[in-house]
């Protein structure tokens, strides 16, 4: 029996996609930068089907790429060389196994908001990304400052290994120190160690009082001081602290329909501060007092508090819309860096000096987490621009002991750049773990780790 017939036997006709139009979409990443030419997409609906596919692929040494919502930004979710195709996981997390463990009470339910709980993760791609993809990239998002990373809020998961073994790590406990905590291997390993099929996640209660301020600062130092003040004065109700610079703001206003500047004039920097708490009058009073003090001290030069849900969503749209506006502006060189906040904008300014008028250097991100999204926008990709950006950006980040991937992962784009952030010994151990779990390298080969290291180990 040939491979296709075998997959049809496991998945039925509907689970084996060979239609060119569908394949073309799935072969291309969100940025339309990475494009594969694989001819097969498999759509399993159950863990058992995932297991059977992998067992077969492993026995035949056929490589596969797990794909969720395909919103990844580092070329991790598309086949790029000789992979057989994808395992498209839409049906897995969505219908079957998205299990929320609410607070620590262990109440199991399918959709958080029915039960007045929220997902601890929120990101601009929320309409398309999937929980399996989120866990596999250890996505950060807009509220990490409040709820922490998925390494903290994922309580358990189920993953299928390359040989088809189903690993049940579906705990719902806050505390469990029995041996190595294996689930962490799958959180952030970008589909290179296993396919995540079930997740149990700690979901905080939905609180009734949410306030959002859209503020202007004239220099980066003020944004930074504002962050320290916000942490001190807003304390436990602070739930997001995001920033964008004037170049990011200009792009959004130019390329996204229906958005307007909430402030009356342009400023050098914008900060969004969100608070979430349980008592409206107390939270509002606290935020208003904080804003008054920040204006008196000159840290904030202008600002507005969202008055209703429409304003709230349009303020968020400005921040969350930057990646889309960049896509509309042309080619984008994307860097997702963790840096000490006091160093972050120095890099942006140095980059502007290096590139001059050849490109538009745009900065925004999760300032509260020390995560800079440095994006360089140009009419098209050219070697001359790239050579001014790389390896400079990685060397600079490494010199300041930052991370070359704060939240998007390494994917294909940065697999061979891992050494800028990790020691040779750590990379070697990662390669040995990969070899142990996936000796035939069938799971997302060419991603995460350098091929040169993998082929030696």
Which residues make up the interface to ligand FAD (CB under 6 A)? 30, 65-73, 76-77, 89, 123-125, 129-130, 132-134, 136-137, 139-141, 190-191, 195-196, 323, 407-408, 411, 444, 447
Minimum distance of ligand 2HG from residue 9's CB (angstroms): 40
Q: At 153, is the secondary structure helix, strand, or coil?
A: helix
414 binds, among ligand 2HG, ligand FAD, none (CB under 5 to 8 A by kind): none
Non-local (6+) Cβ contacts of 131 within 8 A are 68, 93, 98, 199, 201
Query: What does 79-127 look like in DSSP terms, one character per residue?
Result: --SS--EEEE-THIIIII-EEEEETTTTEEES-GGGGTB--S---TTTT
Minimum distance of ligand FAD from residue 54's CB (angstroms): 11
Minimum distance of ligand FAD from residue 21's CB (angstroms): 19
373 binds, among ligand FAD, ligand 2HG, none (CB under 5 to 8 A by kind): ligand 2HG
**Rounded-to-integer distance, Cα 11 and Cα 9, Å:** 6
Minimum distance of ligand FAD from residue 207's CB (angstroms): 21
- Judge contact between 300 and 294, C-beta under 8 A: yes
Minimum distance of ligand FAD from residue 87's CB (angstroms): 8
Query: Which listed residue (15, 66, 323, 402) binds ligand 2HG by CB under 6 A?
Result: 323
Q: Tokens for 36, please give them.
A: 């594969």
89 binds, among ligand FAD, ligand 2HG, none (CB under 5 to 8 A by kind): ligand FAD
Minimum distance of ligand 2HG from residue 33's CB (angstroms): 12
334 binds, among ligand FAD, ligand 2HG, none (CB under 5 to 8 A by kind): ligand 2HG
Query: Which listed residue (97, 373, 417, 434) binds ligand 2HG by CB under 6 A?
Result: 373
Q: What are phi and psi of 212, to 5 degrees?
A: -135, 130
Residue 33 or 373: the one with the smaller Cβ distance to ligand 2HG is 373
Which residue number is nearest to ligand FAD in terms of Cβ?
133
Tell me the C-alpha to C-alpha distance, in Å, between residue 267 and each of 36, 76, 100, 249, 298: 42, 36, 42, 9, 14
Residues 96-135 that bind ligand 2HG (CB under 6 A): 124
Q: At 134, is the secondary structure helix, strand, or coil?
A: helix
137 binds, among ligand FAD, ligand 2HG, none (CB under 5 to 8 A by kind): ligand FAD
369 binds, among ligand 2HG, ligand FAD, none (CB under 5 to 8 A by kind): none
Give the count of residues interacting with ligand 2HG (CB under 6 A): 9
- Judge contact between 192 and 74, C-beta under 8 A: no
Angle at 238 between CA 235 and CA 243, to 5 degrees: 125
| Percentages of the chain per state (helix, strand, coil), in multiples of 5 | 40, 20, 35
- Judge contact between 409 and 138, C-beta under 8 A: yes
**Rounded-to-integer distance, Cα 12 and Cα 1, Å:** 15
375 binds, among ligand FAD, ligand 2HG, none (CB under 5 to 8 A by kind): ligand 2HG
């Amino acid at each position: 029996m040939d491979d296709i017939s075998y997959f049809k036997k496991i998945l039925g006709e509907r689970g084996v996609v060979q239609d060119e139009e569908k394949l073309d979409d799935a072969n291309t990443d969100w940025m339309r930068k990475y494009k594969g030419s694989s001819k097969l997409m498999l759509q399993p609906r159950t863990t058992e089907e995932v297991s059977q596919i992998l067992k077969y692929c492993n026995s035949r040494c056929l490589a596969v790429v797990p794909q969720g919502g395909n919103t990844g930004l580092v070329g991790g979710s598309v086949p790029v060389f000789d992979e057989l195709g994808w395992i498209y996981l839409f049906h897995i997390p969505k219908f079957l196994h998205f299990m929320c463990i609410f607070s620590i009470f262990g109440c199991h339910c399918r959709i958080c908001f029915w039960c007045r709980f929220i997902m601890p993760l929120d990101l601009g791609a929320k309409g398309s990304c999937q929980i399996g993809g989120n866990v596999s990239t250890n996505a950060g998002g807009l509220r990490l400052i409040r709820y922490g990373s998925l390494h903290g809020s994922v309580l358990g998961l189920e993953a299928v290994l390359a040989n088809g073994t189903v690993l049940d790590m579906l705990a719902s406990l806050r505390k469990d120190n029995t041996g190595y905590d294996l689930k962490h291997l799958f959180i952030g390993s970008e589909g290179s160690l296993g396919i995540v099929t079930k997740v149990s996640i700690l979901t905080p209660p939905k609180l009734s009082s949410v306030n959002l301020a859209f503020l202007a600062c004239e220099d980066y130092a003020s944004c930074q001081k504002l962050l320290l003040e916000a942490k001190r004065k807003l304390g436990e109700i602070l739930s997001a602290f995001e920033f964008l610079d004037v170049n990011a703001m200009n792009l959004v206003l130019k390329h996204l329909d229906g958005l307007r500047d909430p402030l009356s004039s342009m400023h050098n920097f914008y900060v969004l501060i969100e608070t979430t708490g349980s008592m409206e009058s107390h939270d509002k009073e606290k935020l208003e007092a904080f804003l008054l003090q920040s204006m008196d001290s000159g840290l904030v030069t202008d600002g507005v508090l969202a008055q209703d849900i429409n304003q709230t969503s349009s303020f968020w749209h400005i921040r969350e819309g930057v990646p889309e506006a960049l896509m509309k502006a042309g080619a984008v060189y994307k860097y997702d860096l963790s840096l000490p906040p006091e160093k972050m904008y120095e890099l942006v300014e140095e980059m502007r000096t290096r590139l001059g008028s050849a490109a538009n250097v745009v900065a925004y991100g999760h300032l509260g987490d020390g995560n800079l999204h440095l994006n360089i926008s140009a009419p098209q990709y050219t070697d001359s621009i790239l050579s001014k950006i790389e390896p400079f950006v990685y060397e600079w980040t490494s010199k300041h002991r930052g991370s070359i991937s704060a939240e998007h992962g390494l994917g294909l784009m940065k697999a061979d750049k891992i050494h800028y952030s990790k020691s040779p010994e750590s990379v070697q151990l990662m390669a040995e773990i990969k070899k142990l779990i996936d000796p035939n390298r069938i799971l997302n080969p060419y991603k995460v780790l350098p091929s040169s290291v993998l082929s030696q180990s």
